[in-house]
Structure 1
Amino acid sequence: MNNFMRFILFTCFVILVSCGKKETKQIPTGRAVRGTFYVDLYEEGEIEAIQSTNILAPRISWRYGNLKITEMVKDGQEVNAGDTLIVFDPSEVLKSIVDAESSLEIALEEYDRMLAQHASDLEDLKAAYEVSRLSHEISKIRFESSVHESEIMKREIQLNLDKAEISLQRAKEQINNRLKIQNEEVKQKKISINQFQLRLDEAHETLQMLNVVSPSSGIAIIEVNRSSDNKFQIGDQCWGGLSIIKLPNLSSLKAITQINEVDISKINEGLNVEIKPDAFSDSTYAGNVSKIANLAVNKERSSKIKVFPVEILLSETNKNLLPGLTVSCRIIIDKIDDVLYIPLDAVNREGESTFVYKKSGGGYNKTEVETGINNTDYIVILDGLKEGDDIALINPFEEESTEEPDNTVES
């Protein structure tokens, strides 16, 4: 046989062998395990401090306009007592200080001029009074020495004395009236000056209030601005008295989660919880359910799903556990010792029949099982399997066009 014929025969052999090969389907499997079975519920939550100091926006007068953030500490930054946390726009307050200082200066100048004018007016009135007094004295002397005067002259002298007394009394009343008027003017001007001074003092106090400092050391956690659903940031406006930053006490922490209304009946205070931060998935912390809300709320503003807020008290703290961290909460609802369980994905149902595909030799047999309670990932097997049995997690006969499945059910 020549070389060409050998090559042709070899090529045909390779093709026949290749066509005869069938790709083996990879079947993911699980194993029946005996041990402690946990009935649990997984929910997402967020770490919060049990006790926190709220840093509020200052309550200031309407005349200074809206509060606008111009400087702010970074979210999660460590701060010491006295450190600046927030600075609000001082422009309106500074303008008010300038206006109040100017008004106060003008009022003081007017007060000084008024006092000088009062003194001058009193001097004029006192001089007029002195003239009236002297005129009265002269008229009195003339009257006393008019014994030998004629009746006509006596009446004239008496008339002049009466006029002098009236003039003297009028001069005295003018001084008294002027003093009353001046005292009232001084009183009103002092009130005006005091108002300008109070306004100036208020503006200075407000200016200090716009620089918010930390009352103690801690971690600054910026609050959510309900107007934007984002955390407060530079440029945001807010109302006085609104909580802008929290300084949490990190010695005691809790996780806040939400339980769907269909599951809330399973949750009781005191249940153990495993808490795993998303940012540190290799760390797990212990806790227990400490509070369950009495009323359901909407999960989100636009959602009709009802949930119950639940608080979980952490049994320990760690420098990595900070308020605001997202955590996975595994709530242990029940614990059953010494039971057989398999992955939930391995269980199949057809009508009233519950079965698995148990590995047997090089294939799989459809095996009927009796199941018990299940959790998110596993289910208890009461009958039909034994410890160590391997089962398929998918239908091993699916998409197998050339192989007829063995539908004989083992019992």
Structure 2
Amino acid sequence: MDPVSSSIRWKRKAYVLAGIFLASLAGLGWLIWKPEAIAVDAAPITRGEFTMEIRADGYFRSKDIRILSAFATGDIMERIQVNVGDRVTKGQALTTLYWDRRLIVRSPVDGVITKVFRNSTGPVNRGDPLLEIMDPKQLEVVAELLTTDAVKVRPGNKVLASDWGGPGLLHAVVSRVSRAGFVKQSALGVEEERTEVVAEFTEVQPATLKNIGSRFHNEVRIQIAKVDDVLKVPIGALIRHGEGWAVFQIIDERAILTPVEIGLRNNDEAVLESGPSEGAAVILYPADSIQDKDRVRGVQAAG
């Protein structure tokens, strides 16, 4: 055998073995030093019905509120024997006014006492309010909305009252949007311009009305827009990207920054006009440390 040819063959084998060794070493190093996948909450892009709502604190109020007043100046009122919250029947005697005659003040309706203006014996003036009575069978839902939200509401919009203390949702429809604003101080001490939005019940059982009364609290959801069969992205997946929006889409265990265009949105989701397709997984509430093409491990978020 030619010693030169043999030497060349051995050199080639050595180069091949060295290449294999270096490749194996590089692969081992990558396995050891590769960045660990970041665990993230993920949710899918879905398709379905989208509802745009305004949410606010609300309360119940009777449409029929009666204020009983004194008949004449100089009458002496006896002590009122009923208290706030007492149920009264139509014709029930509530107090007596007398001077040169004796007049019994009676309840004009079956109702509930919601206010006692005074309950001590003594003289009164004509028109002095004595008692306030409301008819609990004629309750309505009232929400004091920011005026910037109230302008989006129209009579006929559907309303859901929740968290009222009983099971299920109470259905109502907007009957009136007040055009008279007022200033109300928020819990943070900020003065806000608000106005009343009033809704009437459409489906409510008489037994339910027996359990709620005037000024009882609830949570109001007013439906101001509804569209069918649209792509939806969770609000928590949206991040600012330049002058628009983007999401981190999970593709092959990588966080891929994907610009999107959105339309209507509510507190939970937004209509996706362009971007990932239905079923694509996106990262919820991505941390500032996550960058494009980072390795991630998506965990399906509860709810």
Which of 282, 293, 299 is the equivalent residue of 2:178? 293
Q: Deviations over 1:92-125 (max 9, x none)?
A: x9xxxxxxxxxxxxxxxxxxxxxxxxxxxxxxxx
Q: Deviations over 1:34-70 (max 9, x none)?
A: 11111111122221122233334x3454485xx7966
Query: CA offset at residue 25 of structure 1?
Result: 6.0
The whole-number CA distance in structure 2 between the counterparts of 1:78 and 1:384 is 59
Amino acid at match of 2:115: I
Q: Deviations over 1:269-302 (max 9, x none)?
A: 211212224323x421222111122232223599
Residues 242/298 of structure 1: CA separation in 2 closer, same or farther (3 Å cut): farther
Which of 275, 296, 312 is the equivalent residue of 2:161? 275
**1:358-369 superposed matches below 5 A:** 358-369=249-260
Structure 2 SS opposite 1:345: helix
Query: CA offset at residue 332 of structure 1?
Result: 1.0
Instruction: Give the corresponding residue for 1:219.
Output: 112
Contact 1:277–1:325 (8 Å) recurs in 2 = no
Instruction: Give the corresponding residue for 2:280.
Output: 389
**1:320-339 superposed matches below 5 A:** 320-339=211-230
Q: Any unmatched runs of 5+ in structure 2? A: 1-32, 296-303
Instruction: Give the corresponding residue for 2:88.
Output: 79
When normalised by structure 1's length, the TM-score is 0.52
Residues 381/69 of structure 1: CA separation in 2 closer, same or farther (3 Å cut): farther
The whole-number CA distance in structure 1 between the counterparts of 2:37 and 2:165 is 40
Larger radius of gyration between Structure 1 and Structure 2: 1
The whole-number CA distance in structure 2 between the counterparts of 1:54 and 1:27 is 60
The whole-number CA distance in structure 2 between the counterparts of 1:266 and 1:257 is 14
Structure 1 SS opposite 2:215: coil
The whole-number CA distance in structure 2 between the counterparts of 1:340 and 1:36 is 9
Which of 129, 144, 151 is the equivalent residue of 1:265? 151
Residues 249/277 of structure 1: CA separation in 2 closer, same or farther (3 Å cut): farther
Which of 46, 65, 69 is the equivalent residue of 1:52? 65
The whole-number CA distance in structure 1 between the counterparts of 2:38 and 2:129 is 60
Amino acid at match of 1:297: F
The whole-number CA distance in structure 2 between the counterparts of 1:41 and 1:82 is 42
Structure 2 SS opposite 1:263: helix
Contact 1:252–1:314 (8 Å) recurs in 2 = no
Please tell me whether residue 309 in structure 1 is matched to residue 196 in structure 2: yes
Instruction: Give the corresponding residue for 1:161.
Output: none
Residues 382/86 of structure 1: CA separation in 2 closer, same or farther (3 Å cut): farther
Provide the aligned C-alpha RMSD in A: 3.7
Contact 2:111–2:134 (8 Å) recurs in 1 = yes
Residues 70/269 of structure 1: CA separation in 2 closer, same or farther (3 Å cut): closer
Aligned residues: 255
Residues 236/383 of structure 1: CA separation in 2 closer, same or farther (3 Å cut): farther
Residues 235/288 of structure 1: CA separation in 2 closer, same or farther (3 Å cut): same
The whole-number CA distance in structure 1 between the counterparts of 2:255 and 2:144 is 42
Residues 370/69 of structure 1: CA separation in 2 closer, same or farther (3 Å cut): farther
Contact 1:47–1:253 (8 Å) recurs in 2 = yes
Residues 384/304 of structure 1: CA separation in 2 closer, same or farther (3 Å cut): same
Contact 2:140–2:198 (8 Å) recurs in 1 = yes
Q: Which has the higher contact order (CA 8 A, sep 6+)?
A: 1
Which of 94, 99, 113 is the equivalent residue of 1:202? 99
Contact 2:74–2:125 (8 Å) recurs in 1 = no
**1:91-170 superposed matches below 5 A:** none
Residues 395/371 of structure 1: CA separation in 2 closer, same or farther (3 Å cut): same
Q: Deviations over 1:354-410 (max 9, x none)?
A: 2112233444322221211112221111121222222222124x357xxx75279xx
**1:341-356 superposed matches below 5 A:** 341-356=232-247
